[in-house]
Structure 1
Amino acid sequence: MFTGFTDETVDFMWGIRFNNERGWFEAHKQTYLTQFYQPMCALADELYDFLAHQRPNLGLIRKVTRIYRDARRLHGRGPYKDHLWFCVEQPAEQWTAHPTFWFELGPDGWSYGLGYYMARPLTMAKLRARMDRDPKPMERLTRDLERQTEFTLETEDYKRPRSAPSRPALAPWYQAKSFSITHQDKLTDELFGRDIVAHLQQGFAFLLPYYDYFVTLDGDPDPRET
């Protein structure tokens, strides 16, 4: 059971940011395991159980990142991350294919939400085609998003929209190359106890109707063939 992150968690994150080399990490590896990685796994397990209970037929899985960067993609950076995250999603051959619930903790703060990491162009084309066919469900979801203050829509946009929106309120979705519905915060006190569990459960519960909408896009017809 998750009992909270600690001051040692924060100290380690800042430490690895400014001492990103093997010697320092090996000297502090036990702190990484007990104060960072293992608590993150415990938190991931609780949120996975919550979401799997809400959607038992989706075959959800949970993943927790490790601290080691891919040696092929260092690009001048050190070999370790200074942040960790977990995600809950449906399994897929291409891991960017499905929408993902996620939580991330770094030395500067934490964030969580729902979205895609580099959504496939076909996924976004199917989203636009679905909104063209029946705009009302996404209009309702967009209104609900605008009425609350926990999450914001963050998009990576095309330089030029691929098509005109069926309704003005839906314009941000038509412009998006990829997107996430995100909450970002500083290192709040709730991280250091169980309050963060209830916070994330409440937020993910709000996001479930969005997940239900996006996760079914794969089953839509290919708009390039119509």
Structure 2
Amino acid sequence: MFTGFTDETVDFMWGIRFNNEKPWFEAHKETYLNSFYQPMRELGEELRDFLADKRPQYGLICKTTRIYRDARRLHGRGPYKDHLWFCVEQPSEQWTARPTFWFELGPEAWSCGMGYYMPRPLTMAKLRARIDRDPKTMETLTRKLARQKEFQLETEDYKRPRAAAPSPLLEPWYRMKSFSICHEEKLTEELFSREIVERLKKGFDFLLPYYDYFATLEGDPDPRDP
């Protein structure tokens, strides 16, 4: 059971940021495993269980990232990350095509949310087609998002909109090629206790209707078909 991150967690993140090399990491590997990776994995599994109880039909799994960077993509950076995250998502051969819940912890801040990393263009075309068929459902979700303060919509947009939205309220969904409904803040005391578990459960519970909406897009008809 997750009981909270510790001062050692934070010390390790800062340590690896300024000592991003194998000898330092090997000397502090046990700290990494015990105070960073294992608590992150425990937190992820607990949130997966929470979400799976609410949505057993999705067969949700949890993936906790490792600290090792892809050697092919170092680009002058050290071989280790100074942050970790977990994702709760449906199993998929192409994981970027599915929406995911996530939590990330770094030396300066933590964040969480739900969204896509790199959805396929067809997925976003299906989104626009669904909104065209039923704009009211997404308008309701958009208004609900605007009424609260915990999460905000962040998007990566196409340079040119693919189509005209049914209403000004829905324009952001028509411009986007990927998105995240997310929250970020500086390190807080709740990270060091089970308070963060309850905070994330409450946040993910709010995001579940949005996840439902996007998780079912893959079953929609191809809008390119006549």
Gaps of 5+ in 2: none
Query: Match of 1:92?
Result: 92
Write the distance in 2 (CA, Å) between the matches of 1:171 and 1:41. 37
Query: Match of 2:58?
Result: 58
Query: Match of 2:36?
Result: 36
Query: Match of 2:211?
Result: 211
Q: For 1:50, what is the secondary structure of its paired residue?
A: helix
Query: Match of 2:111?
Result: 111
Write the distance in 1 (CA, Å) between the matches of 2:118 and 2:57. 26
Write the distance in 1 (CA, Å) between the matches of 2:75 and 2:130. 39
Write the distance in 2 (CA, Å) between the matches of 1:121 and 1:20. 37
Structure 1 vs Structure 2 CA RMSD? 0.6
Write the distance in 2 (CA, Å) between the matches of 1:220 and 1:78. 43
Cα drift, residue 101 of structure 1: 0.4
4+ residue runs of structure 1 moved beyond 6 angstroms? none
Deviations 1:164-189 (A, max 9, x none): 10111000110001000000011000
Query: Match of 2:150?
Result: 150
1:8 corresponds to 2:35: no
Cα drift, residue 57 of structure 1: 1.4
Q: For 1:154, what is the secondary structure of its paired residue?
A: strand
Write the distance in 2 (CA, Å) between the matches of 1:59 and 1:183. 25
Q: For 1:211, what is the secondary structure of its paired residue?
A: helix
Deviations 1:90-109 (A, max 9, x none): 01110101100000000110
Gaps of 5+ in 1: none
Query: Match of 1:187?
Result: 187
Query: Match of 2:125?
Result: 125
Equivalent AA in structure 1 for residue 155 of structure 2: T
Cα drift, residue 147 of structure 1: 0.2
Q: What's the TM-score once normalised by structure 2's chain length?
A: 0.99
Write the distance in 2 (CA, Å) between the matches of 1:75 and 1:123. 31
Equivalent AA in structure 1 for residue 89 of structure 2: E
Write the distance in 1 (CA, Å) between the matches of 2:204 and 2:222. 29
Q: For 1:57, what is the secondary structure of its paired residue?
A: helix
Q: For 1:223, what is the secondary structure of its paired residue?
A: coil
Write the distance in 1 (CA, Å) between the matches of 2:126 and 2:19. 45
1:102 corresponds to 2:131: no
Query: Match of 2:46?
Result: 46
1:163 corresponds to 2:163: yes
Q: For 1:156, what is the secondary structure of its paired residue?
A: strand
Write the distance in 1 (CA, Å) between the matches of 2:76 and 2:63. 26
Write the distance in 1 (CA, Å) between the matches of 2:68 and 2:165. 42
Equivalent AA in structure 1 for residue 153 of structure 2: L
Write the distance in 2 (CA, Å) between the matches of 1:125 and 1:20. 42
Deviations 1:7-44 (A, max 9, x none): 11001001101111101100110100010000001101
Write the distance in 2 (CA, Å) between the matches of 1:180 and 1:35. 28
Cα drift, residue 213 of structure 1: 0.4
